[in-house]
Amino acid sequence: MNLKRKHKRTIIVGLLLIFLLSAGLIYKTLYKPHVSIEDRELKFTGNTSELLKRVQENPSSWQDVAVQLSGTVTETEAEGFSLDHSIYCQLDSTSTHQKITLGDAISIKGRVIGYDDLLEELKLDQTIIITD
Amino acid sequence: MKYLLCLFLLTAVTGLQAQKYITKTGNTSFKASVETFEPVEATNESTTAVLNSENGEIAALLFIKAFQFKVALMQEHFNENYMDSDQFPKATFKGKLVDFSTENLSESPSEFLLKGSLTIRGKEKQVELPLAVKHVDGCLVLDGSFTANPADFDISIPSIVRKKIAEKITIQLHYELKKKA
């Protein structure tokens, strides 16, 4: 009798543990966080003209990829800036940034979202400025 | 005198040139939530929009992958299963504000009818919506919303999640256009 009760308890506790574990696992898969730009693997590192050349060769493979770029700031506005008149970088809204001025030579990390044919420029978002 | 004439002609010509208002960071969001379920909504803060203030023509473009969801997994499913954004990376709009003129614009919104064609997943559809236009600090601020039907763009929703996604999707836009220098 006593032994049976002991078994019952172990089974209940075991089931409860399994249930909790799987619930936690499901929650973790369903609500996994967004990968931040800092943690993303780079597909390209280099200058703006080289990237544009690569994008023109095969535009469809250059969506939602992280790149590191160096170039000169040719236009600034509140939410972003242009590099070498050809690439628009929208600043990452979740982090703070140093002030950028026209003519600065800078390095950035950002996500290519696609080629904007209305304004004929490549568009990046989640841009962060790399300081070394 | 000659110089003056030249100067006059030059200003006249530049005055005639179309005035363009542009944003690269327009806000387009959609809601397809059903009460009591996880909200299905996302925002795209990188919409490009160009308005020709002479004739009211508007062109807009956004990248599907730039839609940001609260839940990362939902964003993945949206891109892979519903929008096929690898194959159809962008949505575009081309249209015209009916009887548009910048003359009487002020900080309080004036309403204009926007007519045009919306292309999502390679499917084109005519849309009409009222657009509120304001003139604030040299910017033209456009606000509007309309509803779309996923089936019009061949977006199929599996029956298993049918009850969790609204039949009609509300799309909202807020663009602050700056005059192009």
Specify if B154 maps to a domain: yes
The C-alpha of A39 sits at a distance from chain B's nearest C-alpha, in angstroms, of: 15
Q: What's the pTM?
A: 0.85
Interface test with A, best of B21, B27, B46, B78 (most A CBs within 10 A): B46
A34/B72 CB distance under 8 A: yes
Written in H, E and C, the secondary structure of chain A is: CHHHHHHHHHHHHHHHHHHHHHHHHHHHHHCCCCCCHHHCCEEEEEEHHHHHHHHHHCHHHCCCEEEEEEEEEEEEECCEEEECCCEEEEECCCCCCCCCCCCCEEEEEEEEEEEECCCCEEEEEEEEEECC
pLDDT digits (tens, 9 = 90+) for B130-166: 999 999 998 999 999 999 999 999 898 888 888 888 8
Specify if B6 maps to a domain: no
Residues 6+ apart with CB under 8 A from B26: B45, B46, B47, B48, B49, B60, B62, B173, B174, B175, B176
- What is the number of domains present in chain B? 1
pLDDT digits (tens, 9 = 90+) for B119-137: 999 999 999 999 999 999 9
The C-alpha of A86 sits at a distance from chain B's nearest C-alpha, in angstroms, of: 13
Task: Identify the bridge partners of residue A72 per DSSP, sorted by sequence position.
Answer: A105
Specify if B39 maps to a domain: yes
A35/B45 CB distance under 8 A: no
Residue type, B129: L
Specify if B116 maps to a domain: yes
Specify if B108 maps to a domain: yes
Reported as a pLDDT band with limits 50, 70 and 90, residue B16 is very low
> Per-residue pLDDT averaged across A46-71, rounded?
93
Name the H helices within A88-127.
Answer: none
Residue B14 has pLDDT above 60, yes or no: no
Return the higher-pLDDT residue of B100 and B35: B100
Report the Cα A129 to chain-centroid distance in Å.
14
> Tokens representing B7?
């100067």
Q: What domain range is B45 assigned to?
A: 19-179
Residue B5 has pLDDT above 60, yes or no: no
Residue A96 has pLDDT above 90, yes or no: no
> Rounded to the nearest 5°, which phi and psi values hold at B122?
75, 0
pLDDT digits (tens, 9 = 90+) for B60-110: 999 999 999 999 999 999 999 999 999 999 999 999 999 998 888 899 999
Specify if B12 maps to a domain: no
The C-alpha of A27 sits at a distance from chain B's nearest C-alpha, in angstroms, of: 11
Q: Is A77 on the interface with B (CB under 8 A)?
A: yes
Specify if B1 maps to a domain: no
State residue B102's pLDDT score.
Answer: 87
The enclosing domain of B53 has a CATH number of 2.40.128.110
**Residues B45 and B175 sit within 8 Å (Cβ to Cβ):** no
Specify if B153 maps to a domain: yes
Percent of chain A with pLDDT over 70: 98
